[in-house]
Amino acid sequence: MNFIEDLKWRGALNQVTDETGLIDAMQSGEIGAYVGTDPTADSLHLGHLIPFMVLKRFQNAGGKAIIIIGGATGAIGDPRPTTERQLLSPEQLRENEKGITEQVTKLFGDDHTVIVNNNDWLGQLTLTDFLRDYGKLFSINVMLKKDVVASRLETGISFTEFTYQILQGIDFHELWRRHNVQLEIGGSDQWGNITSGIDLIHSIEGNEAKAFGLTIPLMTDSSGKKFGKSEGNAIWLNPEKTSPYTFYQFWFNQSDEDVVKYLKYFTFLGVDEINALEQESKNNPGGRVAQRRLAQEVTKFVHGEQAVSDAEKLSAALFTGDVANLSATDIADAFGGVPSFDITADKKNIVDFLVDGEVEKSKRQAREDVTNGAITISGEKVTDVNFEIDPTKHYEGKFVLVRRGKKKYFLGTVK
């Protein structure tokens, strides 16, 4: 299977400008492909992983992966279909660029990878050069027809955001020149911006210049929700923001309906292996073999081997182990990835304890959960709202382990 066939099989292809042309180009020598990311936050989340997976496959298929960190475009803001974006401060942008660059480096390695910041060229561009060299090549009439822009004509769009597609087009052309980048990859909402780039390359370099675009379908789970959220929170790639344990559990808990789709999409396993896992999942869904493999593979890709074994150790402790008899060292070891809060060694009423530790948002809720039997303290179920927690009782007086519901854990650390 070539690159495109593989993407099709994986359900990762929405549109491509010229399929055979692209395959020919890939076969005639090493070309580059790029994905751009604007530094809108200090970390990537699972939504970002979607185009990066495709770029990684391109790299694995013998191509060169180029990632743009959009220091300049991030300062402008990619128009959203609804409302104008809030501008980020330069300090915030620098901060975000740093975090994202580190993560991308981790995902792609050094080999056949180039990470660039579009501030390097867009930042140098003067207004008159911009208008003379590029502005002339863009037709307002065409720009207005792009979906995002069209949808904003009712509610309004600033000149700044309107210009974004030109900047992204310049990016593509610049990479085409500097790094032989002939392919831009993006989400399905990026189609307009990508074709702007291709048109620009053709305008400047002539129609025979090779430039392609490829978009990826919108990811949704089987219940139709946008992919990548857990309890309404984004799953971040930064282990400080989303612990590797939570990350692992996110994948482990995927439904039978979705697991094969995600195996195809988010792992580098081959056809045979995925088919085998699909079969296994159908024959013995309770074994969750496919989910486990998915969790292992993606966690390994994002956080490394060590994180996988840590997450599995912690999962085992939480779901099968006898938590009350673990040692303080085990706790420190295994529960590092769980939300934690500081406590004192003094005895404390359970309701106050839960609210102060932000396990519960109100005393009312805390009482309700205690009464319902939803709270377990260091392995011991507590149903009495007058219960006094004695932090010296377990784990050498160092920790109090709180479980709320079936699988949410919190760790109180004695200071």
Partner RNA sequence: GGGAGUGUAGCGAAGUCUGGCUAAACGCGACGGACUGUAACUCCGUUCCUUCGGGUUCGUAGGUUCGAAUCCUACCGCUCCCA
Residues that bind RNA (CB under 7 A): 154-155, 223, 231-232, 249, 252-253, 255-256, 285-286, 288, 291, 315, 319, 355, 361-365, 367-369, 372-374, 404-408
In 3D space, the residue among 398, 397, 376, 403 whose CA is nearest the CA of residue 387 turns out to be: 376
Question: Is 347 annotated as contributing to ligand binding?
Answer: no
Taking alpha carbons only, the member of 117, 10, 28 closest to residue 66 is 117
SS3 116: strand
**Among 375, 372, 379, 376, which residue's Cα sits nearest to residue 395?**
379
Smallest distance from RNA to CB 219, Å:
17
Consult the annotation and say whether 168 binds a ligand.
yes
Is the alpha carbon torsion for 260, 263, 269, 271 positive or negative?
positive
Q: Which long-range contacts (CB under 8 A, 24 or more apart) does 174-180 make?
A: 174/118, 174/121, 175/32, 175/34, 175/66, 175/68, 175/116, 176/201, 176/205, 176/209, 176/211, 178/116, 179/32, 179/34, 179/64, 179/66, 179/114, 179/116, 180/30, 180/31, 180/32, 180/64
- State which residue, 266 or 410, has the beta carbon closest to RNA: 410
229 marked among binding-site residues: yes
Q: Is 265 annotated as a binding residue?
A: no
Least distance CB 310 / RNA (angstroms): 13
CB of 364 to RNA, least distance (A): 3
Q: How far apart are CA 113 and CA 105, in angstroms?
A: 9
Rank residues 69 and 370 by Cβ distance to RNA and give the closer one. Answer: 370
Token output for 412: 């109180």
- If the CB atoms of residues 225 and 415 are measured against RNA, the closer one turns out to be 225
CA torsion sign for 243, 249, 252, 253 is negative
Backbone angles phi, psi at 154, to 5 degrees: -65, -55
**Residue 215 C-beta: closest distance to RNA, Å:** 29
With respect to RNA, which residue has the nearer C-beta, 62 or 405? 405
Of 105 and 372, which CB lies nearer to RNA in the complex structure? 372
CB of 179 to RNA, least distance (A): 42
**Min separation Cβ 58 and RNA, Å:** 32
Q: Which C-beta is closer to RNA: that of 83 or that of 327?
A: 83
Residues contributing to the annotated binding site? 34, 164, 168, 229
Which residues does the annotation place in the binding site for L-tyrosine?
Answer: 34, 164, 168
Binding site for ATP, by residue number, is: 229
